[in-house]
Structure 1
Amino acid sequence: MAENATDHLTAYYAQIPVAHKEGLGSIRHWQQLRVAQEGDLLWIKGFTKEQIQSKEFKWIPFLQAYECRANLLFRIGHLVPERRLPASLLWNPVERLLNVTFNNWNHNYFGIGEQVPVSIIPSEKETDAFALLCNTVVAAPYIFESLKVRLDRIQWLMLEERALFLGTPVLSIPGDTFWKQGRHLIPTGYDFVYGILQEIIAKKIDAPGENWILWHTDSTYTLIPQSSVKPLSISSFRLSTI
């Protein structure tokens, strides 16, 4: 397949207001990036085409991508340049500019200088299911007919009219499945916007570390005391659901 010659002549830049620079924390591990300041704007260079198109990039608030050709900056997909690349910029590694600190946590926000929403989004990341949330009426026939060896590796608890089963292999019962990241139970097909911060998010939500954090697709969560989880057996299920 022939290569597009313009790909070799195009550099990728991005611009973000200084007031929102903390959003770059989610891509600071892209070590080739360089950052420079122009007044109240930050310029970032060194992106690959794949990084510009990635979800990590697209979900950073206030970040604008550009293609740079002959020192002219074009918004992605635009044919008319928006401006020239500023001259005499002093470029530094992205880590040097970002001083990530965490302030008082409030609901599902935590501070990185400014408030950044803690939320989950649809993701194509491949994950293995670890937990299952389903209606107890649906689960009962399967549980009562299962061999003991099939249930031995599973723990569970009641959540109102539903049962949450933890462990693998996940029971073959219709319901909502979740994958595990640390103490987070995240719906399969979803991931954090800022996945690299999952340990800090867990500490902000549950500093003692005594709970599972069950996330819902609307980015709310339920704390589940680990002490409430018990081994699954036919008798324990029957006693809890009668």
Structure 2
Amino acid sequence: MERDLTQGVTEYWLRLPSKYKEKLAQIRVWKSLRMATDMDDIWVRGIAPNQLHSPEIRSIPFKKIYFQHENALFLLGGNLPEERLKTSLLWSPIHKALSLETPDYNFNYFGMDETIELSIVPSSVERTAAAQLISLDTLDAIIPKMPAIRLQPIHWVIIEDKALLIGSPLLSIPGKTYWQTQNFLLPAGYDFEYPELSVYFNKNVNQNSNDMIVMQTDNSYFKIAKENIQKLTISGYRLSR
């Protein structure tokens, strides 16, 4: 039975071709990371085990992940050394070594074999819910009994036989929850496959910024005009129903 060489590993290394340096923008704020350049590659070390499978790391394309064992570097999942330990590199904190600027993206062309689509994937990162989708039947039974003060932070819009409530804190009633980034509402437990591109997706999908974009787990989405989102009040709810 093969030994698990990752037992006791406290940090991981990331290797990325230098031409894709901008893909590291989303981890630039992790102060534990150090970065160095080795010919045509960039090396990042200091990635903690609990960061290894984060959306930020997972979304970096063209990368290789290594761990150190004795005086060698092993590819993650491998049991044979791939590289000698990098002892001659000049390491700097990543926020100093990496420019703050990120390039503008051409959504139609990323290279011969590169395409990036608007898609979401399951995420282990917990965020505060900003919206919930609730059946109107459920609201019919609850809203008349709800204290008016509890509705003050909530806005809403009717979508077919459901209502989308937006605000914080949300109502403590059953429903599908979403968290917000830019003008996107993503299902709770999901994140963009490429989180660092949320700004560019927002510009591309919502060019006039007048809509909220509600993503679904199958990567479909629908738009809601912000002007249709109204403050939720008991009297307003009765009139709409």
| 1:226 corresponds to | 226
Relative distance call for 1:112 and 1:120 in structure 2 (3 A) is farther
| 2:52 corresponds to | 53
Check the 8 A contact 2:178/2:188 in 1, yes or no: yes
| 1:189 corresponds to | 189
Q: Residue 171 in 1 paired to residue 171 in 2?
A: yes
Aligned-pair RMSD on alpha carbons?
3.8
- CA displacement, residues 107-148 of structure 1 (integer Å, 9 cap, x when unaligned): xxx969954344333333332222110111122111133233
Matched AA of 2:37: V
Q: 1:51: how far off?
A: 7.0
Secondary structure in 2 matching 1:214? strand
1:88-167 equivalences in 2 (<5 Å)? 95=98, 100-105=102-107, 114-167=114-167
Q: 1:7: how far off?
A: 6.1
How many angstroms apart in 1 are the aligned matches of 2:237 and 2:159?
A: 13
Structure 2 residue runs of 5 or longer lacking an equivalent are 1-6
Check the 8 A contact 2:18/2:42 in 1, yes or no: no
Relative distance call for 1:58 and 1:126 in structure 2 (3 A) is closer
How many angstroms apart in 2 are the aligned matches of 1:176 and 1:182?
A: 19
Secondary structure in 2 matching 1:116? coil
- CA displacement, residues 188-213 of structure 1 (integer Å, 9 cap, x when unaligned): 22233443443343233223221222
Relative distance call for 1:75 and 1:206 in structure 2 (3 A) is same
TM-score (ref. length: structure 2): 0.73
Which of 26, 30, 35 is the equivalent residue of 1:33?
Answer: 35
- CA displacement, residues 69-126 of structure 1 (integer Å, 9 cap, x when unaligned): 5653322243322354689889897636x984223446xxx96995434433333333
How many angstroms apart in 2 are the aligned matches of 1:36 and 1:99?
A: 22
Name the count of aligned residue pairs: 229
Relative distance call for 1:99 and 1:177 in structure 2 (3 A) is closer
Percent sequence identity over matched residues? 33
How many angstroms apart in 2 are the aligned matches of 1:52 and 1:149?
A: 40
